Chain A
Amino acid sequence: MFDYEDGKLDWLAAGLPSEGTNAQRPRAGDIARKDVPTCRLDERLGDVRDRARWAGWDACVVLNEERVVFGLLRSKELEASPDLRIEEAMRPGPSTFRPFVSIEEITAFMMEHDLESSPITTSDGRLVGLLLREDAAEASLDLHERERHSDGGQT
């Protein structure tokens, strides 16, 4: 027997495997985009913006050497002066969410608060990916449809 001393929530937050009915439902960490562009604090905003846009993104996550999230550049921050350093332009210490959070719950929050993206991190702050509102909404709708069909349309 092995005791994971940091607890069940920390186990799930690290993206480690789980079992049971709820383990089959999509979670924020499953839907978050792992290919989100990242940058360092000392980079120049113009360079980061060009790199992000070239890859088709309107957001970039600011990380340190250990992939801990320090800040976030959403579309508004990316529009600032290209000569700014990232640490001057970013939103510092953005709210982050754990990978095990239910996709339905976080989608409802993102819709209600009109938030375009949310960083998903492990409990020690390391980046898992960026959850986009449209991806979250689509996954939530898929889940709803799947469950409606498996109930035989009785909802």
Chain B
Amino acid sequence: MTERDVAMACATCPSSIDRCEFCERSVCRSPICYHCLAEALGQAMAHPHPHGG
């Protein structure tokens, strides 16, 4: 089994990821998925509630 075979969960949401989107490592203490990273850095905004809040 290699590092790449180990699936990780995003530390912020339940998404399963195979590498941390920030540091690009497959072993990371606080892995984060693309969407959570984009939101955390203000590069994207969270989708509004589907029912309009």
B6 within 8 A of A: no
**Chain A residues near B (Cβ < 8 Å):** 9, 13, 91, 94-95, 97-98, 100-102, 105-106, 109, 112-115
Least Cβ–Cβ distance between A128 and chain B, in angstroms: 14
Q: Which residues of A contact B23 (CB under 8 A)?
A: 95, 113-115
**Chain B residues near A (Cβ < 8 Å):** 20-25, 28-30, 37, 40-45
Q: Is the CB of B40 within 8 A of A105?
A: yes
Least Cβ–Cβ distance between B11 and chain A, in angstroms: 10
CB nearest neighbor in B for A7 = B45
Apart from A101-B43, A105-B41, A113-B28, list 19 A-B contacts with CB within 8 A: A9-B43, A9-B45, A13-B43, A91-B24, A94-B24, A95-B21, A95-B22, A95-B23, A95-B24, A95-B37, A97-B41, A102-B41, A102-B42, A105-B40, A109-B22, A109-B40, A112-B29, A113-B23, A115-B23
